[in-house]
Amino acid sequence: MNRHLISAADLSRDDALLILDTADELARVSDRSIKKLPTLRGRTVVNLFFEDSTRTRISFEAAAKRLSADVINFSAKGSSVSKGESLKDTALTLQAMGADAVVIRHGASGAPHRLASWVDGSIVNAGDGTHEHPTQALLDAFTMRRRLSTLEGRRVTIVGDVLHSRVARSNVLLLRTLGAEVTLVAPPTLLPVTVESWPCEVSYDLDSVLPKSDVVMMLRVQTERMNAAFFPSAREYSRRYGLDRDRLAKMPEEAIVMHPGPMNRGMEIAADVADSARSTIVEQVANGVTIRMAVLYLLLGGETL
Q: Which residues bind another protein (CB under 8 A)?
A: 1, 18, 21-22, 25-26, 28-29, 32-34, 36-39, 67, 297-304
Least separation in angstroms between CB 259 and another protein: 29
Q: How far is the CB of 76 from another protein (least distance, A)?
A: 31
In angstroms, the CA 186 to CA 112 distance is 28
For 39, phi then psi, to 5°, come to -55, -40
Q: Which is nearer to another protein, 38 or 78 (CB)?
A: 38
Cis peptide leading into 262, omega within 30 of 0?
yes
Indicate the residue among 17 and 195 with the shorter CB distance to another protein: 17
Torsion sign (Cα): 231, 235, 239, 245:
positive
Of residues 26 and 99, the one with the C-beta less far from another protein: 26
Tell me the one-letter amino acid at 158. Answer: I
- Cα dihedral: 86, 87, 93, 99 (round 10): 170
Q: Smallest distance, Å, CB 11 to another protein?
A: 15
* C-beta separation of 196 from 226 below 8 A: no
Minimum separation from the CB atom of position 21 to another protein (A): 7
Taking the complex as a whole, the smallest distance from the CB of residue 23 to another protein amounts, in Å, to: 9
If the CB atoms of residues 142 and 297 are measured against another protein, the closer one turns out to be: 297
In terms of CB distance, is 171 or 290 closer to another protein?
290
Question: Counting every residue, how long is the chain?
Answer: 305
Q: Give the shortest CB-215-to-another protein separation in angstroms.
A: 26
The number of angstroms, rounded, from the C-alpha of 156 to the middle of its chain's C-alpha atoms is 15
Determine the distance from the C-alpha atom of residue 200 to the mean position of all C-alpha atoms in its chain, rounded to a whole number. 18
* Nearest CB to another protein, comparing residues 67 and 218: 67
- The nearer residue to another protein, 261 or 301, going by C-beta atoms, is 301
Report the distance separating Cα 134 and Cα 259, nearest Å. Answer: 15
The three-state (H, E, C) secondary structure of 80-122, written as one string: HHHHCCCHHHHHHHHHHHCCCEEEEEECCCCHHHHHHCCCCCE
Residue 132 CB, nearest approach to another protein (Å): 22
